[in-house]
Amino acid sequence: MRKIFIVAATASLSLATLSGCNTTKQDWGIVGGALIGGALAPVVFGNTAWYTIAGGAAAGAWVGSYFGKGMDVNDRSRVGYTLNHAPDKQPYKFMRSEKDSDLTVTPTRSYKVNNQLCRDFQTSLTNTGKTVYDKGSACQQQDGKWQIRA
**Tens-digit pLDDT profile for the chain (150 aa)?**
565 556 555 655 565 555 555 555 666 667 777 777 777 778 777 877 888 788 877 877 776 665 565 566 788 888 999 999 999 999 999 987 766 788 999 999 999 999 999 999 999 988 777 888 888 899 999 999 998 875
Q: One-letter amino acid identity for 132?
A: V
Q: Which long-range contacts (CB under 8 A, 24 or more apart) does 97-104 make?
A: 98/24, 98/127, 99/22, 99/128, 100/22, 100/126, 100/127, 100/128, 100/129, 101/125, 101/126, 101/127, 101/128, 102/126, 103/75, 103/78
The torsion angles phi and psi of 117, rounded to 5 degrees, stand at: -70, 130
**Residue 51 to residue 8: CA distance in whole angstroms:** 14
Report pTM: 0.55
- C-alpha torsion 81→86→90→91, nearest 10: -10
Beta carbons of 131 and 125 less than 8 angstroms apart: yes
Q: One-letter amino acid identity for 35?
A: L
